[in-house]
Structure formats: C-alpha cells, structure tokens
C-alpha cells in the first residue's frame, strides 16, 4: 500500500478512479499459514491457479512456479484443490 493520504487528497465518496488497482493493495500480511510448493511433486494441472481468489499463483510458460506472497492471504484453497494423489502444496505456519 502506498503512503496514506489526507482527506483533502482523495476522490470524494470513496470512488476508486483507477481500474485494477487491487494489485497495489498487499494482503500478504493477513496470512497465518503460507502455502509451500514441492516442485518435484507438482504436475502443473493449474487447478490451484483457477481456484486462487487472489491471483497469487505464479505461472510461467504454463508451469506453476510458486506463490505471490505479497497478495496470498493464506486461505489454503490451493492446498485443498491440489489433487490427493499429488499433494504438491502444503500449508506451513508463518514464522516457523
């Protein structure tokens, strides 16, 4: 999040003038558990990418490569949808 502004500097009525600026609002600090990827197990089915509510699954060349921890809230949806036979994503407690 950029520097907080005074009431005189912001658009009236709480209007957000810039489309798609949720990207600037980092929600990683909300996390209690963080997803951890085991690259050896991942089959790149990308079900986690479809399921992530924060678009925090990083995909390069159609391969799952990790997490955007600036936006990942640690909801665990990715670990939950990761196929049972694969289990490439596990949730680990933050700070441990």
Partner 1 sequence: MNKEDKGERMGQKVAMTGNIAVANAMRQINPDVCAAYPITPSTEIMQQFSSFVADGEVKTVLVPAESEHSAMSACIGAAAAGGRVMTATSSQGLALMWEMLFIAAGNRLPIVLAMANRALSAPINIHGDTSDAMGARDSGWIQLFSENAQEAYDNVIQAVRISEHMDVRLPVMVGMDGFIISHSIESMELLDDKVVRDFIGEYIPNRPLLDVDNPMTYGPLDLQDYYIEHKRQEYEAMKNAKPVILEIAERFGKISGRQYGLFEAYRLDDAEVAVVVLNSAAGTVKAVVDELRVKGIKAGLLKPRVFRPFPADEIAQALSGLKAVCVMDRADGVNGLSGPLFSEFRSALYDAGARPLMINKIFGLGGRDLGLQHVRDVFHELLKISETGKIETLAEYMTVRN
**Site of interaction with partner 1 (CB under 8 A):** 1, 4-7, 10-19
Nearer to partner 1, 5 or 60 (CB): 5
Nearer to partner 1, 14 or 95 (CB): 14
Hey, which residues does 67 pair with through a beta bridge?
57
Chain centroid to CA 96: 20
Q: Closest Cα to residue 87, out of 35, 49, 34, 38?
A: 38
Hey, which residues does 47 pair with through a beta bridge?
none
Tell me the closest approach of the beta carbon of residue 12 to partner 1, in angstroms. Answer: 5
Tell me the closest approach of the beta carbon of residue 84 to partner 1, in angstroms. Answer: 35
């Amino acid at each position: 999040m950029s520097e907080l502004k005074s009431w005189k500097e912001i658009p009236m009525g709480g209007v957000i003038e810039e489309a798609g600026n949720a990207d600037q609002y980092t929600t990683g600090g909300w996390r209690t558990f963080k997803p951890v990827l085991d690259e050896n197990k991942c089959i790149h089915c990308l079900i986690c990418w479809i399921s992530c509510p924060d678009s925090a699954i990083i995909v390069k060349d159609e391969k799952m490569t990790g997490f955007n921890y600036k936006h990942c809230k640690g909801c665990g949806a990715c670990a939950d949808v990761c196929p049972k036979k694969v289990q490439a994503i596990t949730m680990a407690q933050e700070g441990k």
